[in-house]
Amino acid sequence: MATPLPSPLGTPKDEFLAQVRRSLGRPAAAESTEPAEPYYRLTEDAAELERQGAAAQQRREQEQTGLVDRLAETAQLRGWQVFRAPNPEEAIGYVALLATAQGVTQAVRSAQEVFTGLPLDAALENLGIPTITVAQDETHSRAGLREQIIRSGLGLTGADYAVAETGSVVVMPRRGLSRLVSLVPPIHVALVRPQDVVASLDDLFLLRRLEYHRNGGDMGSYLNFITGPSRTADIEQQLVVGVHGPKEVHLILLG
């Protein structure tokens, strides 16, 4: 790890903000004071946020079946290949068939809860497709795991959330969940459980914000929405699928 800079570069913060204040027509020397009419979203107290969060959570549980149906619909529209697996066997069968059909010789997966009790690794190994769990330990270094990801034709992850409104899978990279597993291999498979699904972007960000305040102000280093395959329209505004990210994305809805 490089040593952090003892102090920031460029213009000192206070000087920079003084210029901003001057431009706003306020005394430059003043402290940045809270807006006279505070923004409504930053003024609720913790209890209010908890109440809203509980309501969102309740919505999520009550409407689960409907939300899963809606997710299946929007995800398909956004370019996911959606497969509804009523039981673990069918999910494993789908992945096995996909890997074989696409000539995958090696797969990587994250170490998320969704894989517990799902004998996916064994199924793929049986087909001659080694499946590596991307999680550092004494024998697996960061650099070594990265090499394995690069060599893999298929990346498997769970979802921290899935958003019915947008057809998105949300992953929050951390220990056991590499940023690259869902990004570098040409095929990404996301396994989504009913309890992962939220209705809307509003609910998602509300729940994230609640969590942020609950845990003392840590968002985690990264959060990614994945909504269909990698695409571009940079040449003649024509849509083309598959640039730097996966060209093929599969969403398996469990249970």
Partner 1 sequence: MAEVKTQEFVAASGAAMQNPTLRRALRQVGTGFNGARLEAIDEVGPQLWEEWREEAQRIKRHTIDHLDYYLEMLHDNVTKAGGQVHFARDAAEANGIVAELARTRQVKLATKSKSMVSEELDLNQALEGIGVEVFETDLGEYIIQLAGETPSHLVAPALHKTKEQVAELFNDQLGVPLTDDIEEMARTAREALRQKFLQADLGISGANFLVAETGTLVIITNEGNGRLCTSAPRLHIGITGMEKVIPSVQDLALFLRLLPRSATGQRLTSYVSMVSGPRRSDDEDGPEEFHLVLVDNGRSKLLADPDLRESLYCIRCGACLNICPVYQKIGGHAYGWVYPGPIGAIVSPTLVGLKQAKDLPQASSLCGACREACPVKINIPRMLLHLRHKLAESQDPEEKSTSAMDSLAARGYTWLMNNPSALTALGKLGRAAQQPLAGKGKIEKLPLPLVSQWTKTRDLPLLPQRTFREIWAQELGQAGSSIASPTSRDTESRDAGSGG
Q: Per CB under 8 A, which of residues 180..199 are in contact with partner 1? A: 180, 183-184
Q: Give 70 or 174: the residue with its C-beta nearer to partner 1.
A: 174
b/e burial code for range 92-107 (CB count within 10 A of at least 16 → b): bebbbebbeeeebebb
Sole window of 85-93, 96-104, 119-127, 204-212 interacting with partner 1 (rule: CB under 8 A): 204-212
Q: Report long-range pairs for 203-208 (Cβ below 8 Å, ≥24 apart).
A: 203/56, 203/59, 203/60, 204/161, 204/163, 204/170, 206/52, 206/53, 206/56, 207/53, 207/56, 207/57, 207/161
Q: Is 122 in the site for partner 1 (CB under 8 A)?
A: no
Q: Is 145 in the site for partner 1 (CB under 8 A)?
A: yes
Q: Give 47 or 244: the residue with its C-beta nearer to partner 1.
A: 244
User: Closest separation between CB of residue 248 and partner 1, Å?
Assistant: 13
Q: Which of residues 233-252 bind partner 1 (CB under 8 A)?
A: 233-238, 240-246
User: Closest separation between CB of residue 139 and partner 1, Å?
Assistant: 15
Q: Is 137 in the site for partner 1 (CB under 8 A)?
A: no
* R_g of the chain computed on alpha carbons: 22
Q: Give 94 or 225: the residue with its C-beta nearer to partner 1.
A: 225
Residue 180 to residues 137, 147, 173, 185, 189, Cα–Cα distance (Å): 18, 11, 9, 8, 13
Q: Which of residues 49-88 bind partner 1 (CB under 8 A)?
A: 74, 77-79
Is residue 164 left, alpha or beta, with left meaning phi > 0 and alpha meaning psi from -120 to 50? alpha
Q: Is 174 in the site for partner 1 (CB under 8 A)?
A: yes
Q: Is 103 in the site for partner 1 (CB under 8 A)?
A: no
